[in-house]
Structure formats: C-alpha cells, structure tokens
Chains A and B, each alone.
Chain A
Amino acid sequence: MKAQWHLAPALLIPAALSAPAYAVTYYSVAQAQQALFPQANAFVADALRLTPAQQAQIGKDAGTPQVTSEQPVWRAMANGRQIGWFIEDEVIGKHELITYAVALDMNGAVQGVEILAYRESRGSEIRNPRWLAQFQRKHFGDPVSLGVDIANISGATYSCRHVAEGVKRILALYEAALK
C-alpha cells in the first residue's frame, strides 16, 4: 500500500523559499467604528485612566492581567445620545500580535468583535519594540504587507484564544470602569 505514496518525496521545498512573517490590516479604527456602529454619527474619545485598584480588579475578574492603565475607548453617539462603547485592544501571543475592537451596547453586552490587524512573526520579534513600532496605531489603514497573503495560508489553526481572553478582559473593564 505504501507504494501509493511515493516513497521518495515528490518534491523538496528548499528552506530558502520559506517566508518568515506576514501581517494583514483589515480595518482602521474609524472603519471598524462605522462597521460596528453603523447607526452612530460620532465617536467621542474617552480619556480612560484606570486606577491601580481598577486594574487589579479587572485582572482578577478576567483571569488575565490588565497591563496598561490607559485603554483606547470611544463613546458611540447617535444624534447626541450615547448608544454604545467602542474599545480597542491588543493581544500578544507566542507568535502573533492581534489588534481588535469590541463593540458594547449600553448594558455592556458584546455587539460585535472585529479584527483590525493581525501580524505573525518569529517569537523573538513579536515583543521587540522596533518590530512593533511599524504597526503603531498611526499606521492603521495604511496597507501593511509583509510576506504572504493570509488568504492563501493553510497552516493548522491560528488560535483565537488570546482574543477570547481579551474580550473577557474588556468585559471586566466595562464592569470596573465604564458601567
């Protein structure tokens, strides 16, 4: 039976052909705001500063630490009334950095989650400030293209575990600071 699989490899892909990293940007913040709150006509940035006590509470409730004391938060407004919250967040995995946004209604229920940007690289780069700097928020919306188009990558499962944990943390942040 084994003969049906060529015993010698059908081909050998040389190491030199492999691509090291890729990144893809889906949405700018403004685009994601419009997509998640199509009925809103304004987004008001909220200068949210978490106290150490709030940060600790969020970490305790969410099970993952709230690392920063500042979180980018916008009030979604329709005709002068607030209809929800738009919260931008970032999660970092072993090989990936994902920026995403969560839309909450006025009761703190998740209305939607959109991935803004996904970058994947080798472990050493992912926490390197210089590597990260190329993806700073000012670059959102700019086409970022490194390596290969994600549309044609069949590699087993990019885990969204970190995004799931991040959304949980955002919900804890709502409870602690926005409610």
Chain B
Amino acid sequence: MTVVRARPYLGTLVEIGAQGPGAATAVDAAFAAVARIHRLMSVHEADSELSRVNRCAAALPVPVGEDLWVVLKAAQTLAEESGGLFDISVGGRLAALRLLPDHGAPPAPALGDWRDLQLLPGRLVAFARPLYLDLGGIAKGYAVDVALQSLGDAGMTQAWVNAGGDIARFGGELVPLHVKHPADPTRLVPLLSWRAGAAATSAGYYAPRRNGIPQSPLIDPRVGRPQILDRSITVLAPTALLADALTKIVALDPARATPLLSAHGARAFILEGRPDGDVAVFDSASSYLSEEVSHV
C-alpha cells in the first residue's frame, strides 16, 4: 500500500510518501521525526534547542543533543572545506536584515564567524564571540535524511521525503526529476531521471523583495550581504543534508565548489533561464550516480 501525506513544517510543506507494509504508521513516524528536528533547530521559536544555544553559548558551553550535534559538526566540516563560504553563523546578518527574528538574543552585530563556533568534547557548544547560528541552509536537508532513514528502518520498499524542494528517495522507479524554471517558478522543467539519492535546489525566486530588489536569504560571508540570485542551482548528493548545504556553496562560488562536490560524491547543475523560455543547464560534470541518474 502507498501512503502520501503533507504537513507544514520547517517553514515549508513537507510531503512524505511510502510503500510497504504499515506505510501509514511509518509515514506518521517519519513526520514525527521531522517535527522533532523542526522543534530543535528552528530559529523562529525562542525555546528551540538552537535558540537556547544562540542565547547562551557565548556565556558558557551549552550541552546539546545528538541531532543538533550532528548538524553542527557537518556544518563546521563544510565551512572548513569551503573556506567559510558555507557559514551557519551568518544569522546575525539575516536578523539585521529582518529576515530572522532576534528573540532578545545579545546583540551580535556579525562580529564572529564559523571559526568562533567551538564544538567541545561531551557535545558542548561554545561561542568564542557572540554568534547567531541559523541552520536554514542545512537543517531541512537533515530532517529529510532522518525522516527517510526512519522509513527505511520501518521496512518500506519505496519512500520519499520532499521538504519544499529538498528531496530524498529510495526504492523507486527511474523517474524524471523536475525543477522549477529559474525564470518562472510556476513552470517545471525535467532535469534528469533518477531512482535514489537526494537533491536540493536553491534559487532566488521566492526571496522577499525590498525596493524591488530580491533579499536573498543566502548571505555571502565574504561581503556580509545577500547574494542576488538570477539562476537556480540543483545539487544531487548522497544525503539531503549535503545537497542542501552544497547548493549554497555552488551559488556563491561554482569554481571553488567543484572539488567539494566530487569529494562528497555530489553533482551540481546551474540552470539559467533564456529569454525564449529555454533553460541552459551547466553541469559540474562529476560522474556521480552514473548508474542511478541519466539525462532525459
């Protein structure tokens, strides 16, 4: 039996589908996992574990649970590998731009960066300087991974999780993966065919605008300002966490992202809308998923 459900979480609509014995129960459990990650890692909720870290970690080391620890570790690894292009501490700048709430956190006028985030033995998190961590570029992918894992553990033969465009799936047929047209988000274009793995897309089309200028939530740590996107980036990776995070690095610096993509077994596509409605696709040309993915 196949069950497909959708609920609002993580600031988006999360769709979960599964096929197998007890699919309805398995889908419920997968949503419970998404809800748990949502509660832990939302900066929009003042009592989330992440908000507690943001309030306190500059004063004293804060113990965190396994989930947050895994995500912070992954984020730090990606920050190191990308020379700071991926930086979860840019939240202070988003708060200043009023893209994120501040919850009365100590004013952190973007002083520190990822190097001030200390992950100490015993799962303790400390800030060397005040920081405002925002996991918007990675937590959604992690939630997708955790949910899909729970569906696999529940014995599903086929499953997928789609959190607002961050997708992971296993066990399915070879089907077309569609992405939104970079110049017209109401249209979909088939990018490739896939069977399993994870994909994420980053684009500017839903960015809030101020004075007509898109306020992208993607802060370029090099200049401390949003990067204005006129293209979309889709990354295929072994996990949705990686796909989610790597889209941000590709958006900021495709050349620099290339070795990272291959190191993580990932592959990226940059899509550019042409005036005639065609979409030009640039490919990071890694050999990732050569068996799982083929061009349509």
Contact = CB atoms under 8 A, between A and B. Distances in A.
Interface residues of B, number: 61
B199 A154 contact: yes
Q: Is the interface of A mostly helix, strand, loop or mixed?
A: mixed
A158 B178 CA distance: 14
Given A10-B285, A156-B201, A115 B206 contact: no
Interface stretch (A43-51, A81-89, A145-153, A170-178): A145-153
Contacts, number: 179
A50 to B, nearest CB: 24
Interface in B274-290: 274, 276-285
Nearest to B280: A9
B285 A6 contact: yes
Nearest to B4: A26
Interface residues of A, number: 51
B188 A18 contact: yes
Given A2-B255, A27-B5, A156 B164 contact: yes
B160 A151 contact: yes
Nearest to A32: B5
A20 B282 contact: no
Interface string B144-187: 00000000000000001010111101000001111111000111
Contacts of A147: 188
B12 A157 contact: yes
Given A123-B186, A159-B12, A11 B281 contact: yes
B13 A158 contact: yes
22 contacts: A5-B258, A5-B284, A12-B281, A15-B278, A15-B279, A17-B189, A27-B5, A98-B13, A114-B5, A114-B7, A118-B13, A120-B186, A152-B176, A152-B177, A152-B178, A154-B191, A155-B178, A155-B201, A156-B164, A156-B165, A158-B13, A160-B9
Contact of B180 (A10, A121, A155, A163): A155
